Structures are given as structure tokens and as C-alpha cells.
Chains A and B, each alone.
Chain A
Amino acid sequence: MLKAYKEKYYKNNFQYILVDSLGKIIDTDDSIIPSESKYSIQEVHPFFESISDLFTISNQHYDFSCVNLDFEKKSIIADIVIYTHDNNENIIIIENLTEHYNRYQLTAQTRNESVINSQILELKNEYLLEKEQFKNNFIANFSHQLRNPITASAIFSKFLSNTNLNSEQKNYLDIILSANNDLKYRINDILDLAKIESGQLILNETTFNLKELLNKIATGYQIFATKQNLDFETGFDPKLPSYLVGDRYRLKQIIGNLINNAINFTSKGQVSLHVSLNYIRAEKASLHIEVADTGIGIDKSEHDSIFERFTKVNPNSQNNRNIGLGLAIVKYLLAQMNGNISIESQSNLGSKFVCNLSLKTAKESHKLLEVSHEIVYPDFDKKKSILLVEDSELIQLSILKILSSNGNFFLNIISNGEDVIPTLKNQEADIILISNTIQRYSAEELARSIKELSTAHKKIPILALSTEVFKEDLKRYKRSGIKDVISKPFDDKSLLDKLYKYVK
């Protein structure tokens, strides 16, 4: 019985073919591959045709594993062993391992596919990162180019508004001022997003008066909403703490962006802002902010996507002025502050945005340190002299106009980096303003050279007029001895605030 099984097993799995040195078949059967009807082994399959030279070398042994052999009626995968002898008889042993190799093929298929997919994913990821980097650089560069003209346009519009204008001219100017303001916010939005996405946005924590901030926001938007023929309702929880520690500017931005969004998408009815206290625990106050409107609403299917960049619901809306960055910024800022945002809304039934965030409560001693945001401009006994290093004529003229209106400063303007040191050797300066767009010289380089001039020069406060407002830029400026940065676009107040802060 054993013999019968052995025979059956071997017959089905092994085939022995005897060939001469030219490949002529001497003995074979058809147990695995059809060969009985062939004259030479070369005719059986191209595999044998391509190895037939091996039969001419005597007393050799060759192993070919996992050879896929396709015939008209069947395909097999076999290990093939060849022994050559000097008696002109060569033996070919074929072992059929089709099932075994087919199982191996499945494993290899899964493994290779997963390796290739992960390589492709990695490449896509690299590509996306490069694209993101390019986009952020592009945005940063592009917005820098816009900052000088926006600054000049804002400043001169404001001065123009103080001249004798008839009511028609005043109306036109109001439109220019408002458009300019819009443009400034849009650029700041774009830059903020670029900062957030490159991880460069830092929260600037200070102690601030929460109630005062909320009242300011309420007053500002009351006027804006009235202009749009909307009611603006506010409700602030009396339990809210007066003082908190956090980034006042960013909190204002979160609330402001939500209200702007509500007003933009509401053509009639009401927009409201309610702020209440969830609880105070472990020296942290949890705030609950709700901004609701009676506007076009947002379909449930769009609730997640509205927080993505450049998404705007109902793009055909006539009222649509928002390019859709505001909510993305709100979401990012809240995430930075460990807060969250949710939305309750249905199409045509208005929307309600609800945020919760925690801010540190202020200690008694810290409350005294709160910096007043209003700087009083004192008169000096003697006019202070400012050296301005700036190659943009628009900015030169803007600063000249601001300072001449203020009356407390002399202005000396240099357009070339080369002239800075020779000028300072002959003239005194109480403050030096250096633009970061001077050709061939960076603001830091110039600051360093000035500091090296003499001990007296070391003491002159240097401020940068900069379009570079990223965290790394600010660090770089500080290292080179630049005291502070006036970021473009600036207005008369932000320029004068900084000058009065540093002038001695």
C-alpha cells in the first residue's frame, strides 16, 4: 500500500526528463508538463531553450527555483534541478510546487502592495509639505509687498478726513477708509493663518480687564450692526471675573471674527453676543461665549467644513463679503487656547456659535500690573530727533506727516543703508527707526553697526519698521539689539505709542 501511495505522490509532483547534450529528449512522461510529443526539450518551453547551453557542460548541477511555466492548457510553478553527466545523459527533475508558491505569492502581494503604498503616501506627504511651505512663503512675501501702500493709504486718508471736506467728499473718504480697513484685516487674517499653520503663532499672555474688553467689543459692533440695519444685543454674566490672564488681542479676535461672520450672513433681524462663566476651578475661569444671528443659517452637512480655510457657505449670496478665513482662525485660536467651538444651525433659521475656553484668573498683585492701553503723549522741553532709515517714499511721507502733526519730533530721513553710519557720526538721534526692506542691508545688520559705533550710540533705542512679524523674526531682531518692532501696516497711533514708549 505504501508503495502505491509513494508512486502516486511522486508521479503527481515530480517529473524526470532525460536529454542529451543537444537537448534531444531521450526519456520522459507527461506527468507534470507535456513533453512526450516533443523532439527536443527546447520545444517544450522557452525556459529550456534559454538554458540549453548548460547541457553541453558535463558534471554540473543547477537549481532553478520558482519557475513559472505557462502551457496552452495549464500553468505551473516548479523548482527545476538539472544534473549534467559526461555520458551524454542529462537529467532534468521538475518538482511541481504550484500550490506552495501560490500561497507565497499572496503573501508577497500583500507585503509589496503595502510597502509601495506607504512609499507613495510618504511622497505625497512630502509633496504636500513642500506645497504648504511654498504657499506660506508666497503669502508672507506677497503680504509684505502690500504693507507699504496700505500703510500710506490709511494714514493719508485719515489726514484727509481732518481737512475741510464737503459731505459728498466725506462720504467717499469714509468708503476709502472702510475699504482700507477691510484690506488690512484680510491681510492680517491671511498672515495669521500662515503663522498658525507654520506653528509660529504665539499667544501673548498679559493680565487684562475682561469686562472692559467685552464692553469695547460691544460698542464697536453696535455701530457696525446699526450701519447694516441689524439689532445688536449683548448679555454679559455679572459673575464674570474682572481680570484674567491671556492673550487679549486673540480673545478679541475670536469674538470679533464670530460677530463679523454673523453680521455678514444676516440681512435682517438680530445678532447677539452672550458671555457667561461656566465655573472657576484651579485658578482657571471657564468662559462660555455664544454668538447668534437670524441669518441664512448653515445646513447640517456643512457644519464641519465651515471651519476649513476658504470655505464659505452659499457662495452665491449677495451679502457674501467674507473670504472665509475668519472661522478657520477662530477654530485654530481656540485650539491653541485649549478651547472648543460648536455650531447649532439650520438653513434659513439662523446660526449659533458656542465656544468654551479657559483662561487663568489674575492674582491680586498682577491686576496692578495691567498695562494701560492708552498712552498719554506728553510734550517735551526740546523736540526729539528721529532718524528714519526707509527706502519707501510712501512710508517716508506717511511718517513725516504723522510726526509733523504731532509737533514733538524732528525727522531725518535716509534712504540708503550706506549713509546710516556717516550720518550718525555727525548728527544726534533720540530714536532710530529702521525699515526691514532697505536694499542690500538688513535691519539687524544696520542695528549692529550702530551699536558698535560708540557707547553713546549703544544707548539709542532702535525700532524696526517691519513687514516680518513671525516669532523667529522678532527673536532675530531682539538679538541684534533692536528694542521693538512697529509692524506694517501701522497707523499714527501705533507709531506714536511706540515712539513715546522708548524716547528718553
Chain B
Amino acid sequence: MTTSKKIVLLGHFGVGKSSLIRRFVENTFSENYKVTIGVHIFKKVVEVSNSDSISLIIWDLEGQDDIKKTRSSYLLGTNGFIYVFDLSRPITFENLNSELEFLKENFPNIPVKVVGNKMDLVTKLYLKDYSEVFGHLVDFFTSAKTGSRVDNLFSKLAKELL
């Protein structure tokens, strides 16, 4: 049986939301940064078990430095959120706590996966230095460039949505 679920990617601009989706949907990556305006919608069917698959409809939103600035209609009917930040730019995770708090308050019971992207740009020591800031909040450290943990992220969320 295939069910359809809407996933929304949120986060500052330039953190790699579109790149993560491209890596997941098309298995490609480009070094060129193209700013997303408004919303792009992608679809990929993921097999969750032998009998079940799930059609993920992924909304790639224009980056915002404050989640409250997001057009509210984009968030209607969301089944799961992925909040992405750029590990190499602290400004993109400075307000992580309040951003997640906003989602919790306005979308209770909707799963949220927190992703530190651009893992390829930082060292383990760097992650350790910043672990107090985001360590306990992050579900996945990914790299859209190398593909590291990208599939795991979407599969994990898909399973939770079923």
C-alpha cells in the first residue's frame, strides 16, 4: 500500500536544503548555489517494508533566518519536518532552540528531524567544540556533497510517518 506524506524542509538560506533533496531524489550534487524562492515540490516513493511504501512529497522552502517568516500556507497539512542548519556557519544554528520550540508549539505531534548539514566541511574536533550548542538536538549529521547519512535521514522519517 502506498500512502502519501508531506515533508517540509526548513532552515536558513544556503544551508543545503535543496542539495539534500537533490541528493535524495536524484542522487546528484552541484557545488553551484542556486537560491530557492517560494517553494519547490519533489516526490519520491520509498519502500518502508516488503508490503508498504510511502510517497514522500517533499516541500523545499525558501530559506528564512526566522521560521516565523515562513508563509503559513506552506506549512498546512505537513506530516513531518526536517530542520536543516549549516554546521560551518554558526549563525544558522544560533537560534536552533527557539526555532524548534516554535514547531513544537504550533505543530505538536508532528515529527521533526534536526539535521546538521555540510559535515564534509568540519572536523570532529569542531563538532566537539560546538556540541554544547546543538549536540543534544541533532538527529543527523549529513553531507549532501558526499551523500553521507542523507538516505538514512529520509528513511528514518518515512518509517516514523507510516
Chain A positions within 8 Å of B, measured between CB atoms, are 45-47, 49-51, 53-54, 62-70, 77, 101, 104-105, 108-109, 112-113, 115-116, 119-120, 123
Contacts and interface: CB of A to CB of B under 8 A. Distances in A.
A112 B36 CA distance: 10
Interface in B113-128: none
Contact of B39 (A67, A105, A112, A123): A67
B4 interface: yes
A116 B91 CA distance: 10
Given A67-B41, A123-B89, A108 B77 contact: no
Given A46-B43, A47-B41, A49-B4, A108 B91 contact: no
Given A46-B57, A54-B77, A64-B74, A116 B39 contact: no
A105 B77 contact: no
A116 to B, nearest CB: 5
A101 B77 CA distance: 25
B91 A68 contact: no
A67 B38 contact: yes
B11 interface: no
A46 B73 CA distance: 16
B42 A68 contact: no
Contact of B14 (A54, A68, A69, A112): A112
A209 B86 CA distance: 62
A51 B35 contact: no
A310 to B, nearest CB: 26
A119 B4 contact: no
A65 B38 contact: yes
Contacts of B62: 66, 108
A66 B38 contact: yes
10 contacts: A46-B41, A50-B4, A50-B6, A51-B77, A64-B74, A68-B41, A101-B38, A112-B13, A113-B35, A119-B89
A120 B38 contact: no
Given A66-B38, A108-B35, 10 more contacts: A46-B41, A47-B57, A49-B4, A50-B4, A50-B57, A63-B73, A65-B38, A66-B39, A101-B37, A115-B13
A69 B42 CA distance: 9
B35 A68 contact: no
A47 B57 CA distance: 8
Q: Which of B39, B41, B42 has the most CB of A within 10 A?
A: B41
A110 to B, nearest CB: 9
Contact of A119 (B38, B42, B91): B91
Contacts of A67: 38-39, 41
Interface in B46-81: 55, 57, 59, 62-63, 71, 73-74, 76-77
Contacts of B88: 123
Contacts of A49: 4, 43, 55, 57
B73 A112 contact: no
Contacts, number: 78
B40 interface: yes
A64 B73 contact: yes
Contacts of B34: 109
Interface string B2-31: 001010000001100000000000000000
Contacts of A68: 36-41
Contacts of B14: 112, 115-116
A35 to B, nearest CB: 16
Contacts of B71: 64-65
B37 A104 contact: yes
A318 B36 CA distance: 60
Contacts of A113: 33, 35
A63 B40 CA distance: 16
A62 B76 contact: yes
The 5 lowest CB-CB distance pairs between A and B, nearest first, are: A66-B38, A46-B43, A50-B57, A50-B6, A68-B40
Contact of A116 (B36, B37, B89): B89
Contact of B37 (A51, A53, A105, A119): A105
Interface in B73-107: 73-74, 76-77, 88-91
